[in-house]
Amino acid sequence: MQFGIFSVGDVTPDPTTGRTPTEGERIRAVMRIAEKAEEVGLDVFATGEHHNPPFVPSSPTTMLGYLAGRTERLVMSTATTLITTNDPVKIAEDFAMLQHLAGGRADLMLGRGNTGPVYPWFGQDIRQGIPLAVENYALLHRLWREDVVDWEGRFRTPLQGFTATPRPLDGVPPFVWHGSIRSPEIAEQAAYYGDGFFANNIFWPKEHFQRLIGLYRRRYEHYGHGRADQAIVGLGGQVFMRRNSQDAVREFRPYFDNAPVYGGGPSLEDFSRETPLTVGSPEQVIERTLGFREYFGDYQRQLFLVDHAGLPLKTVLEQLDLLGEEVVPVLRREFAARRPAGVPDGPPSHEERKRALAQDGAHDDADKEGAK
In the complex, the residues that contact other proteins under the rule CB under 8 A are 130-131, 134-135, 138, 154, 184-185, 187-189, 191-192, 203-205, 208, 211-212, 214-215, 219, 223, 262-266, 270-271, 274
Nearest CB to other proteins, comparing residues 214 and 346: 214
Distance (Å, whole) CA 69 – CA 102 = 7
Phi, psi dihedral angles at 305 (to 5 degrees): -95, 120
Q: Is 254 exposed, middle or buried (0-12, 13-18, 19+ CB in 10 A)?
A: middle
CA neighbours closer than 13 Å in the CB half-sphere of residue 224: 0
Nearest CB to other proteins, comparing residues 71 and 189: 189
Angle between the 60-70 and 88-101 helix axes, to the nearest 10 degrees? 10
Least distance (Å) from other proteins to the CB of residue 91? 18
Least distance (Å) from other proteins to the CB of residue 135? 8
Nearest CB to other proteins, comparing residues 104 and 276: 276
Q: Give the amino acid at 135.
A: E
Least distance (Å) from other proteins to the CB of residue 46? 22
Nearest CB to other proteins, comparing residues 59 and 114: 114
Nearest CB to other proteins, comparing residues 208 and 250: 208
Least distance (Å) from other proteins to the CB of residue 155? 10
Please report which helix (H) or strand (E) contains residue 279, including its range. Answer: strand 278-280
Nearest CB to other proteins, comparing residues 270 and 351: 270
Cβ–Cβ < 8 Å for 227, 339: no
Least distance (Å) from other proteins to the CB of residue 261? 9
Nearest by Cα to 36 from 265, 314, 344: 314
Cβ–Cβ < 8 Å for 129, 159: no
Cβ–Cβ < 8 Å for 53, 10: no
Nearest CB to other proteins, comparing residues 61 and 136: 136
Least distance (Å) from other proteins to the CB of residue 37? 28
Least distance (Å) from other proteins to the CB of residue 144? 17
Cβ–Cβ < 8 Å for 307, 33: yes
Distance (Å, whole) CA 179 – CA 5 = 15
